[in-house]
Amino acid sequence: MSITADILAAWKGPRRFIRAKLADRPREATVLVLMMAACVLAFIARWPALARQAELDRRMAEAGGMAPDQIPSLQALMGINLFVLVFVLPLLLFAVAALSHLVARAFGGRGDHAAARLALVWAFLAAAPAMLFQGLLAGLAGPGLQLTLVGAAVALAFLWLWLSMLIEAES
């Protein structure tokens, strides 16, 4: 099944979807590649907002008489975001998955660390299209009520997917 079909299936029925994925028992390398792919999509989702921020910073610097080398360039902003989202975020998410497994275990969960990681990875990957929309809105409309509402909806959608998948993974 393609990744896009998997994402649609995850939205249709997250518990049924993760049950099927757990039955396949993917290798850890596959889970890591899926996490990296989701993090790359999160990085791409930031591009419009970073471009907007760089342009606004450039205009403000020019209006304030600052030299262009005193403000971060778009390449610098993208480099920082690349490092954080593609190299640091996967480590943090795997730590969150381990912590969520320990919390679930305290409440009677019977899954394992691999199942908790898989649930988090697929929830994050399934939420990626919504993050891409949020990033596009951030670049076009900028900060405001619309972006706040979309950001809250994306966060709630991710939490719904993750908790649904985690409950199934721990049962």
Host domain of residue 141: 3-170
Q: 23 is written with which tokens?
A: 């039955």
**What is the reported pLDDT for 136?**
95
**What is the reported pLDDT for 68?**
67
More confident call, 53 vs 64: 53
Cα–Cα distance, 103 to 106 (Å, whole number): 5
Residue 68 burial (CB count, 10 A)? 10
**What is the reported pLDDT for 111?**
84
**What is the reported pLDDT for 2?**
86
Cα–Cα distance, 167 to 16 (Å, whole number): 11
Mean pLDDT, rounded, for 27-33: 90
Q: How many domains does the chain have?
A: 1
Residue 143 burial (CB count, 10 A)? 10
Mean pLDDT, rounded, for 121-141: 95
